[in-house]
Structure formats: structure tokens, C-alpha cells
Amino acid sequence: MFQLSINALDKNIFEGGAESLTLPGIDGELTILKNHIPLITALKEGKLRFKTDKGISELSIRDGILEVNPDRVIVLINK
């Protein structure tokens, strides 16, 4: 698992441990797993899905930014 933070302009949507994160990068779909290389990229309109120990959650986004660090993944989105 890795630490995941998903934030919209007006609120925090999710904060906690995740097993995987799949989102629409500007150059195609990205899947982030534990120990992913550091990365910063823009996101485009589509579905964001993340898996936790409680199941899979999905939400639609208009665009955003993804930042992958060794200890945390941060997603800033426009819904």
C-alpha cells in the first residue's frame, strides 16, 4: 500500500492507504502501484479509480495534476 491524497479545489476527497490508483493522464491511462517512480503529470477528463482495503472507488474528473513521490501520491482534481 501507499499513502494517497485526493483533493478537489474545495475539499479533501480521500486521504489514506491505497493498493492502486488508475487515472487518465494526458498521454494515456496511468496505473500507480507501491514503489512507483517519482512523476508529475497533467490529467485529462475521465475516470479516476483507486483500490483500498475497503474496495474500489471511482469518480469522474475534468482535469487535474498527479504527483508521485516515494512516500506519498497526491492528486489535485477539478470535478
| Domains along the sequence of the chain with CATH | 2-78 (2.60.15.10)
Tens-binned pLDDT, residue by residue, of the chain (79 aa): 999 999 998 999 999 999 999 999 999 999 999 999 999 999 999 999 999 999 999 999 999 999 999 889 999 999 8
pLDDT given at position 79: 83
What value does the CA radius of gyration of the chain take, rounded to a whole number of Å? 11
DSSP per-residue codes, 7-63: EESS-EEEEEEESEEEEEETTEEEEEETTPPPEEEEE-SEEEEEEETTEEEEEEESE
* pLDDT for 7: 98
Assessment of whether the complete model's pTM goes beyond 0.85: yes
- How many angstroms from the chain centroid is the CA of residue 12? 12
CB 65, CB 40: distance < 8 Å: yes
